[in-house]
Structure 1
Amino acid sequence: MTAMLSDTTAADVPAWRTEALCAQTGPEFFFPEPGGSVSEAKRLCMACEGRPACLEYALTHDERFGVWGGLSEKERQQLRRTGRS
């Protein structure tokens, strides 16, 4: 995702993150206002080669906000409940 951690240096950033399609867009697609649509973000994610790594990162790091790996917050929550596939 485009939201970078403040304590992360460029050397710490995984390749999938710097090459991801979301790195070329603004965060408003991936972190919409409450009630906002995530359809554009999800569409962009589905075309991104980094999507599987992004989703794994989000699940591993318990990302609770935004679209990661093509899934919304609620979809990731459901995936956690049912077990990773």
Structure 2
Amino acid sequence: MAALFGASEDEGVLGWQERALCAQTDPEAFFPEKGGSTREAKRVCSSCEVRVECLEYALMNDERFGIWGGLSERERRRLKQLKHRVV
């Protein structure tokens, strides 16, 4: 299945990062100052083919800063809280 999307079998656990659109974009957009806009980063994420992998990585590694998988720190925190309530 991965080969269909241009990923090789041996690209490694973090190989998705090479295909991430944010790797081709200004990194500052993904780490805005407190109160800064997240609009540009979320726009990039919305069309990224590895958005799910990115979000899973951020949740599994408890990333506390930046936009990951299209979600802000606050949005990821809420998602984790909801997940814990359901489980």
Instruction: Report the TM-score range of the alignment, normalised by the length of the smaller protein.
Output: 0.7 to 0.9
Q: CA deviation at 1:27?
A: 1.2
CA distance in 1 between counterparts of 2:50 and 2:43 reads: 13
In structure 2, distance between residues paired with 1:13 and 1:38: 27
What runs of 5+ residues in structure 1 fail to find an aligned partner? 1-10
Give ranges in structure 2 of 5+ residues lacking alignment: 1-10
Aligned AA (1:48): C
Runs ≥4 in structure 1, deviation > 4 angstroms? Answer: none
2:61 alignment partner in structure 1: 61
Whose Rg is larger? 2
User: RMSD of the TM alignment (CA)?
Assistant: 1.6
Equivalent-residue separation in structure 1 for 2:77 and 2:59 (angstroms): 9
Q: Which residue of 1 aligns with 2:7?
A: none
Higher helix share: 2
Higher RCO (C-alpha 8 Å, min separation 6) = 1
Aligned residues: 74
Q: What is the TM-score of this pair, normalised by structure 2? A: 0.79
**Within 1, Cα distance between the matches of 2:66 and 2:73?**
6
